[in-house]
Structure 1
Amino acid sequence: MSEISSQTVEDPDLARAREGDDDAFTRLVEPLRRELHAHCYRMLGSVHDADDALQDALVRAWRGLARFEGRGSVRSWLYTVTTRTCLDLVESRRRRALPVDLGPSSDRAVLDNAPLNDVAWLGPYPDAGLTGGADARYEQREAVELAFVAACQHLPGNQRAALLLFDVLGFSAAEIAETMATSTASVNSALQRARKIVAEKVPARTQQRALREIDDTRVREIVTGYAGALERGDAGALVALLTEDVTWSMPPLRHWYRGIEAVMDFAVEIPLTRCPSWRHLSTSANGQPAVACYLGEHAEAPHLPWSINVLTLRDGRIADVTSFVGAEHFPAFGLPDSLP
């Protein structure tokens, strides 16, 4: 992740902030806001929860600034406050899930697939939220990949925090122990258990590595080909883009599909034939290519936000589609409210 110069006790803004200067506090925090928000997302699996957590954490930091003794950097101290805030939310809220966590895949298209609103669903994360936006470094993008964030949601709060602080952010076990008010031995134990669980759920080859092995032109072809196939209702073009073991899920819908036959049965039955008219915009989410889907009643009608489709690629094809259904996902991506 990007190196940001640590503020020290001698920093004029820190001194002014400790005396109650709101503007000085804002100047201290602003360079760190994006990376703190991404940390909240990794902890909580939701942009909206990350918004709430970061806001609460910064209020706590402002109110507790007088207690900051300056032994470490402001960055480290803010991560401590933010992590503790997230841990409080982890304790009070259900873990975020994907349809694959709820049961086996379906062999055929399910037409009465009603949304499950009593499940806390994992949400997509806009790459613009990373430090550096679209130019964010490899390590940052890897740490918000869908498979990794989904795996983290299976960890208890203390293991989740230890893993993210150590493996993603580079804090020492001793620093993490201080953050979590525990012992270094407990942190090392939590790390060991967390790494085992995550290794069982995350592919050995990350999306960042897979994308680096695919020519950028091919990635663009896949994205535009996927969008074009949906807009034209072209099943042949779509199937040509998919791996044999492709999966497709649509939170907040329970049912999901695995394998080319099941996925194409779903695609032909629903998005390719039953949805009147599609329009699409390319975007990026969780360090992966994504497509924003807009649905209209007919080709000339306004097309309204429908889903953010995050694509997982392997060997030049689409291995997984996660369609996050809901207009509420679009504002965080800076996407328009409708397409003509």
Structure 2
Amino acid sequence: MTGIQHQALGMTSHPEAAPGQDRFTAETERFRRELLAHCYRMVGSAQDAEDLVQETYLRAWRSYSGFEGRASIRSWLYTIATNVCLTALKPRPIRVLPSGLTGPYDGLDRPPSPVAPAEILGTTTAAVKSGLQRARARLDELEPEPAELLEPADPRARALLDGYIAAFERSDVGLLEQVLRVDATLEATPFRDWQSGRATCLHVLDAYVLGTPGDWRMIATTANGHPSAVVYHRDADGVLRADGVVVLTPTATGIARVIKFHDPALVTTFGFPDALMR
């Protein structure tokens, strides 16, 4: 933690306080990036997420002396962060992923459609509730069993991430087919449509997303304990511009879920540049 961050957390520089500060930093700082991803997932704004993570650390520091270790330090921080985010969301609607709005889109005749500002579905409340029920039931069917999920440090998880990155950078739909599960799901913000099933996912990615080799560049990272990548897309001037972050759910049989957050601000929030020259 920097001196500025210490000041923001209300920490003093008195010698007698240093041991507690150092211990707090050592135990909590390694979770900052995943807490940032967690807060972003809840509030949908990179700037707000940064502020909420800072508030999380402030609250954690203030109550650190009373932390008894009944839960892991990570779980304790997540609880604080979730409460901070829920408080911030009270005056406004909660942001949800496409799978939280309706069932998967099975059509193959058009690209995914974005949600217009102040618009959700342009339909009735009853239709939204019905779609939610179908979507949740479908997700329950597709959710991997806990035993199938790979730990972030598992070499197989990194191999799947590397394969996904290579597929995009080479515009290779065949390589994508190798890393996705048959029942894989694909969703992205701020689009209202999401896809279920490898064949459908591959069609959408091949037809509307992959482009030509060199259009995409991805750099491996982690988010919320999942293998992830910051994403760059080549613009008309040939510059690779920040595009967002993709988060994967790896299992023993392949990638079960792909979530793409289209938000260039996330790339710099994760500590990466907003553009790459090559």
TM range, normalised to the smaller chain? 0.5 to 0.7
Tell me the equivalent position of 2:256: 319
Runs of 4 or more above 6 Å deviation: 36-41, 57-62, 78-84
Instruction: Give the counterpart letter for 1:45 in structure 2.
Output: M
Instruction: Give the counterpart letter for 1:111 in structure 2.
Output: P
**Paired residues of 1:247 and 1:263 also in contact (CA < 8 A):** yes
Matched position secondary structure for 1:267:
helix
Tell me the equivalent position of 2:52: 53
**Paired residues of 2:171 and 2:210 also in contact (CA < 8 A):** yes
Whole-angstrom CA distance in 2 between matches of 1:109 and 1:307: 26
Offset at residue 56 of structure 1 (A): 4.6
Say if 2:218 is the partner of 1:289.
no
Offset at residue 310 of structure 1 (A): 0.8
Whole-angstrom CA distance in 1 between matches of 2:270 and 2:80: 27
**Paired residues of 1:36 and 1:82 also in contact (CA < 8 A):** no
Residue 110 to residue 250, structure 1, CA distance change in 2 (3 Å) = farther
Choose the corresponding residue for 1:211, options 150, 154, 171: 150
Matched position secondary structure for 2:250:
strand
Whole-angstrom CA distance in 2 between matches of 1:222 and 1:60: 37
Whole-angstrom CA distance in 1 between matches of 2:169 and 2:33: 34
Say if 2:101 is the partner of 1:102.
yes
Offset at residue 321 of structure 1 (A): 0.8
Tell me the equivalent position of 1:271: 209
Tell me the equivalent position of 2:125: none
Offset at residue 293 of structure 1 (A): 1.9
Tell me the equivalent position of 1:334: 271
Residue 90 to residue 246, structure 1, CA distance change in 2 (3 Å) = same
Instruction: Give the counterpart letter for 2:145 in structure 1.
Output: R
The correspondence of residues 172-187 of structure 1 with structure 2, limited to 5 A, is none
Offset at residue 93 of structure 1 (A): 3.0
Residue 220 to residue 82, structure 1, CA distance change in 2 (3 Å) = closer
Offset at residue 73 of structure 1 (A): 3.0
Matched position secondary structure for 2:209:
coil
**Paired residues of 1:97 and 1:119 also in contact (CA < 8 A):** no
**Paired residues of 2:249 and 2:255 also in contact (CA < 8 A):** yes
**Paired residues of 1:294 and 1:307 also in contact (CA < 8 A):** yes
Whole-angstrom CA distance in 1 between matches of 2:80 and 2:255: 39
Tell me the equivalent position of 1:246: 184
Instruction: Give the counterpart letter for 2:100 in structure 1.
Output: D
Offset at residue 317 of structure 1 (A): 1.0
Q: Between Structure 1 and Structure 2, whose CA radius of gyration is higher?
A: 1
Instruction: Give the counterpart letter for 1:239 in structure 2.
Output: E
Whole-angstrom CA distance in 1 between matches of 2:80 and 2:252: 41
Residue 110 to residue 33, structure 1, CA distance change in 2 (3 Å) = farther
Choose the corresponding residue for 1:303, options 206, 224, 240: 240
Residue 275 to residue 255, structure 1, CA distance change in 2 (3 Å) = farther
Percent identity over the alignment is 25
**Paired residues of 2:233 and 2:241 also in contact (CA < 8 A):** yes
Deviations 1:131-162 (A, max 9, x none): xxxxxxxxxxxxxxxxxxxxxxx9xxxxxxxx
Whole-angstrom CA distance in 1 between matches of 2:215 and 2:36: 36
Offset at residue 251 of structure 1 (A): 0.7
Tell me the equivalent position of 2:127: none
Whole-angstrom CA distance in 2 between matches of 1:36 and 1:309: 18
Say if 2:70 is the partner of 1:73.
no
Tell me the equivalent position of 2:168: 230
**Paired residues of 2:112 and 2:193 also in contact (CA < 8 A):** no
Offset at residue 204 of structure 1 (A): 6.4
Tell me the equivalent position of 1:23: 13
Bigger drift between 102-111 and 282-291 goes to 102-111
Tell me the equivalent position of 2:4: none
**Paired residues of 2:245 and 2:260 also in contact (CA < 8 A):** yes
> Gapped runs of 5+ residues in structure 2?
1-6, 69-75, 121-131, 133-139
Matched position secondary structure for 1:237:
helix
Instruction: Give the counterpart letter for 1:113 in structure 2.
Output: S
Matched position secondary structure for 1:250:
strand
TM-score (norm 2): 0.65
Whole-angstrom CA distance in 2 between matches of 1:289 and 1:116: 30
> Gapped runs of 5+ residues in structure 1?
1-16, 121-153, 155-199
Whole-angstrom CA distance in 2 between matches of 1:272 and 1:250: 14
Question: Matched residue pairs, number?
Answer: 234
